Structures are given as structure tokens and as C-alpha cells.
Amino acid sequence: MDINIGIDAKNREQLATALSKVQADTYTLYLKTHNFHWNVTGPMFQTLHLMFEQQYNELWLAVDLVAERIRALGFPAPGSYKQFAALSSIKEDDGVPKAEEMIRRLVEGHETVARTARNAFKLANEVNDQPTCDLLTQRMQIHEKTAWMLRSLLE
Ligand SMILES: [Fe+2]
């Protein structure tokens, strides 16, 4: 059945592409955060191990919301490491960084998703897609808050 929600197919396709980048960034940051939860060491171990766990759980729930918005717009959601690697602006890590470097890389990761979401928001706003605007507003709020909390550990 054709989709008739008041956003034409061309605009829905562009929205799906923009949201796929948000999903890929979020998934890549999810994996990075879980990796750091497993591998962090040092005097801040307990704090960071638990903080990273809260963060990866939140990211894991978020990828589902973004993917399902893409589906509601009528397009397939990306679901492979190959697609995520091609779409994501977040670099993967080699080796195990020191705890402070992990924090720095997570700040950068959250700032990157915030920028990707902000780009997608511009399009969603132009084509009158309020549910996507709402979702992206919530995502930006969480990424910017998390970046602030992580940044504060470095001061
Ligand atoms: Fe765990």
C-alpha cells in the first residue's frame, strides 16, 4: 500500500537517508561505549564501568527508535556492520586507550551524533516532519547532556 502521510516519497527518502546516518553513528557509539565498559582500567574503574553501562543501554534503546522511524517513512533501516561503517561519521578504535582517552573519544562521539542529528533536523523541519523533529530533538538533548557529563570528568 502507498504511504499517504503528507510527506512526498522524495522527501521521505531523503529523511530516511539522513536518519540512517544518525542510526549508524548511534550504533557505532553504542559499540564503542560497550567496548570501553569492558576494557576500562585504572583508579576510576568503578565510576566509568558503571557510567558507560548506563550510556550503552540508552544508546541501544535509541537505535531501535531511529530505525523504526525510518521504517514508518517507508524505507529499509540499515542493519549490518558494513552499512554502519559506510554511513557512520564516528571512527572505530584500535587497541585499548587509557581511561582519560576513552572519555575524550566518547565526548567526541556524542558531539558527532549531535551534529549528525542537527543536520537531519534541518531537513525534517523543512519538510514538515514533526515526529522526526521530535525524535531528533530528544536525541540531541541526550547526546549534548552526556557530552557535558563526560567532559566534566576531565576538568
Ligand atoms: Fe557489563
Å from CA of 29 to ligand 1 middle: 16
Measured from the Cβ of residue 34, the count of other Cβ atoms closer than 10 Å reads 17
Ligand 1 centre to CA of 153 (Å) is 21
- Ligand 1 centroid to residue 50 C-alpha, Å: 8
Distance CA 35, CA 37 (A): 5
Cα Rg, the chain, nearest whole Å: 16
Per-residue pLDDT of the chain (155 residues; tens, 9 = 90+): 999 999 999 999 999 999 999 999 999 999 999 999 999 999 999 999 999 999 999 999 999 999 999 999 999 999 999 999 999 999 999 999 999 999 999 999 999 999 999 999 999 999 999 999 999 999 999 999 999 999 999 99
Find the 80 Cα to ligand 1 centroid distance in Å: 23
N-terminal to C-terminal alpha carbon distance within the chain: 55
Residue 38 Cα, ligand 1 centroid: separation in angstroms? Answer: 7
